Amino acid sequence: MLMSDPRLDELIEEFSFLDDWEERYRYVIDLGRTLPALEEGERVEVAKVRGCASQVWLVSSTDTQTGLIEFRGQSDAAIVQGLLAILVRLYSGRQPNEILALDAQAAFQALGLGDALTPQRSNGLKAMALRIQDVARDAQAGLQT
């Protein structure tokens, strides 16, 4: 289910100016360039996202006062880095329940990217979104204990 979300609405507006997949593809790559690189010590095995053909590292931190979760990540593939940038933009700085309510697949469909991704990239996107959801579930469980 896709709920109205200001961050997603902003991305939809940005993508609405792009006429074809080639322009969207370039924009996704440009978004990836905006992600700050992870420190070498963060690019470790435990941070790797399984299910991605390229290498993807995703790290998170939870503010103990507010419960907000921040995500940061990096990939060795330009298009995947861009997809990761979109996920980070959509999910960072949210409460676990907000993260769990936002459907990444529906968001990418709304951006006009869902059908344009290769099956391999779609699987990678699902794996990254599942990792984000797992972090949110773990944080939520920790908040409720």
**Domain extent for 21:** 6-143
The pLDDT value recorded for residue 1 is: 41
Report if residue 94 sits inside a domain. yes
Report if residue 1 sits inside a domain. no
Alpha helices in the chain (DSSP H): 6-16, 21-33, 78-91, 96-101, 104-110, 119-143
Report if residue 57 sits inside a domain. yes
Does the annotation mark 52 as catalytic?
A: yes
Task: Provide DSSP, 71-100.
Answer: EEEEESSHHHHHHHHHHHHHHTTB-HHHHH
Report if residue 79 sits inside a domain. yes
Report if residue 26 sits inside a domain. yes
Report if residue 111 sits inside a domain. yes
CATH of the domain at 109: 3.90.1010.10
Q: Give the C-alpha separation, 90 to 98, whole Å.
A: 10
Q: Which of 52, 69, 84, 86 is catalytic?
A: 52
pLDDT digits (tens, 9 = 90+) for 22-76: 898 899 999 999 999 999 999 999 999 998 889 999 999 999 899 999 999 999 9
Tell if the pTM clears 0.85, that is, is over it: yes
8 Å CB contact between 71 and 133: no
